[in-house]
Amino acid sequence: MHIAIAGNIGCGKTTLTKMLAKRYGWEPRFEPVDVNPYLEDFYKDMSRWSFNLQIYFLNKRFKDVVEISKATDRTIIQDRTIFEGVYVFAANNRKMGNMDQRDYETYMGLFESMMEVVEMPELMIYLRSSVPHLVKNIQKRGRDYEQKMPLGYLEGINNLYEDFIMNKYKGKVLIVEVDNLDFEHN
C-alpha cells in the first residue's frame, strides 16, 4: 500500500510521516531536502535555479514511485509526491516567473512521459495550513535557507495546493486542518 502525506512547506509532513511509520511499522520515504544540491541556491536566486531544482525533485520522486510500485508486500508512507512537485511547486515557479515557458514545457513533457508508469497512492493525506502557521513552523525548524523565503512564494503554493486537491488530483484524499493541531506532542 502507498500512502502519501501532502502539504505546504512547514505544515508537518515529515513529522507525521515519521510518527505514522513508527506507530504502524510502515516504511517511510522522505523528500530529499537535506541532500538536495540545488535547494539552498534556489532560495537565493529562484529564477536561476528553479528549473534545476524541479528536475532534481522530479527525478528523485520518479525513482521513489517506481520503487514503491514494486513494494507490494508492505505499506510505504511518502513525504510529498511527484504530483505535488508538478501541479504545485513547478506550477508556482512558472506562475511567479521563476521558470520560463520553454523550461516549463520541457519539464511537463518529461512528467507526462513518466505518468505512463506511475500510479497514484491509495490515500493522500493533505495537511492544510495557513501561511502564518507555516511561517511559525519554518522559523522553529531553523533551516537558514528557508528563513528569507518570500511570503508570496508560500501563498502561491497554498493556493495551488487547494486547486490541486480540489480540482486536479483524482485519488482518495483525507484533508486534515493542522493550524490548531499538535500531533507531535498530543
79 has catalytic annotation: yes
The dihedral built from the CA positions of residue 72, 76, 81 and 83, taken in this order, carries a sign that is positive
Out of 41, 64, 79, 100, which one is annotated catalytic? 79
Residues noted as catalytic: 79
